[in-house]
Amino acid sequence: MNTKFPNRFMPYFLLLPSITVILIFFLIPTIRSIYQSFFRVSPFGDRRIFVGFGNFSRLFTSSAYVNSLVRTLIFAGSVVVIGLVFCVIVAALLNQRLRGMSIYRTFFIWTYAISPAIAGTVWALMFNPATGPVVYLIRLLTARTMNWMNDSNLALAIVIIAAVWKMMGYNVIFYLAGLQTVPDELLEAASIDGANGIKRFFKVTLPLLSPTTFFLLIMNMLYAFFEVFGLIDIMTKGGPGNATEILVYKLYRDGFIAIDIGFASAQSVVLFVFVTILTILQFKYTQQKVFYG
C-alpha cells in the first residue's frame, strides 16, 4: 500500500478545500475571539479599551458566571447520564423480533429529525402554565398546579428531559447498530453457562457496546454543552432567574443581547478550554475501559 503521488504538491492541493474551510470557519474565528477577549468594545465597535485579562478575572469573580457553570455541569451531567441509560434500554427493547418493529423504531428515532426550534415549541406548549395539556392533566390527577416559569428546579428538569428526548433518536440508532453486531454465539455460550437475561446483558452485551457508549458519551457531552442553545432559547430563555442559563446561553446573552463582545469572547475562550480538557480526560481514562472486541 505504498502509492506515490505523481506530483509532490498534489496531496496538498487535494487537502486545500478542507484546510480552507477549517481556516475560515474555525481557526480565524478562534484567533479573533482570543484577541477580542482582551478588549472592552462598545456595541457599535467604534470604541475599544485594552483591558488585559480583565474580562477573564471578572468572569471568575462573577457570581452569575459561577452559577451558570454549576448549572451547566448539572445540566450536561444529567443529559448525558439519563440520555445514555435510557437510550440503551430503549435500544435493547427495540432489538427484539416483533411484528411491526420498524414502526416502533421509527417512532423512537424521528425525534432527531425535528428541529430544535420545533422541539422547543412543542415542549413549551405542553408545559405552558396557562394552557399546557401536561399541566392540565397533572392538575386533574393531583389537584396541584405546576408553573415551571417560577420554579427553578422544575424548569431545569423539564429542559433536561426535553434535551434528552431531542437526542434520543441519535443515541438509539447508534445503540441499535451496536446491538446488532453483538455475536449470537457469545450470548448463546453465556446462556449455556447459565447466565440469565439480565446477566447476559450486563456481562456480555454492555461490554461489547463500550465503543458505542464511548462515542456517544463524547457526542452527548458536546451536544449538552453547545447544541442545546435553540431548545433553551425557545423554552426558557435562560430563566426563571438564570435557572437554565447554561454557559453557551449566557455567552449568547452577553455577546448578542448585551453586545459586550469582549466579555463574550472571554467566555468562549474559557468554554473552549474547558471542553477540550474534558474531552482529553475522557479519552485518557475512559478509553482504557473500552473493549474493541
Partner 1 sequence: MKRLILVVLFMTVLSLIVPAKTTITLWHAMSGANLTALEAIVKDFNASQSEVEVVPVFTGTYAETLTKAIAAFRNNTHPHIVQVYEVGLQTMLDSGAIVPVFELAEPGFDWGDIVVPILNYYSVDGKLYSMPFNSSTAILYYNKDIFQKAGLDPNKPPTTFDEVFEYGKKIVESKAALGGIAFGWPAWVFEQMHALHAQFYANNENGRKAKASEVYFNKDFGVKVFSEWIRWAQSGVLVYGGREYNANNAFLAGQVAMLIQSTSSVGSIESKASFKVGTTFLPRIPGYPKGNSVIGGATLWVMKGKSKEEYKAVWEFLKFVAKPEVSQKWHKSTGYFPTSNSALKGLLDEGWFSVRPNHLTAFLQILSGINRPESQGVRLGNFVAIRDVVDSAFEKALQYKGPDIEKTAKAILDDAAKQCNQILKDYISLYGK
Give the one residue of 13, 20, 28, 42 binding partner 1; rule: CB under 8 A: 42
| Closer CB to partner 1, 190 or 235, in the complex | 235
How long, in residues, is the chain?
293
Q: Of the listed pieces 35-43, 96-104, 158-166, 171-179, which binds partner 1 according to CB under 8 A?
A: 35-43
Spatial distance between the Cα atoms of 251 and 39, rounded to a whole number of angstroms: 16
Q: How far is the CB of 75 from partner 1 (least distance, A)?
A: 17
Q: How far is the CB of 41 from partner 1 (least distance, A)?
A: 8
DSSP 159-199: HHHHHHHHHHHHHHHHHHHHHHTS-HHHHHHHHHTT--HHH
Give the one residue of 111, 121, 147, 286 binding partner 1; rule: CB under 8 A: 147
| Closer CB to partner 1, 203 or 253, in the complex | 253
Spatial distance between the Cα atoms of 199 and 194, rounded to a whole number of angstroms: 9
CB burial readout 132-153, b (16+ within 10 A) else e? beebeeeeeeeeeebebeeeee
Read off the C-alpha cell for 14. Answer: 487535494
The answer to whether 237 contacts partner 1 (rule: CB under 8 A) is yes
What character string, x for contact with partner 1 (CB under 8 A) and - otherwise, covers 148-167? -xxxx---------------
What character string, x for contact with partner 1 (CB under 8 A) and - otherwise, covers 238-277? -xxxx----------xx-xxxxx-----------------
Read off the C-alpha cell for 6. Answer: 505523481
Instruction: For residue 240, say if its preceding peptide bond is cis, omega within 30 degrees of 0.
Output: yes
Interface positions, 52-81, toward partner 1 (CB under 8 A): 63-64
Q: How far is the CB of 139 from partner 1 (least distance, A)?
A: 9
Distances (CA, A) of 59 to 97, 211, 267, 271: 54, 37, 8, 11
How many Cβ atoms from other residues are within 10 Å of residue 16's Cβ? 11
| Closer CB to partner 1, 106 or 150, in the complex | 150
Residues at the interface with partner 1 (CB under 8 A): 40, 42-47, 49, 63-64, 128-131, 145, 147, 149-152, 237, 239-242, 253-254, 256-260
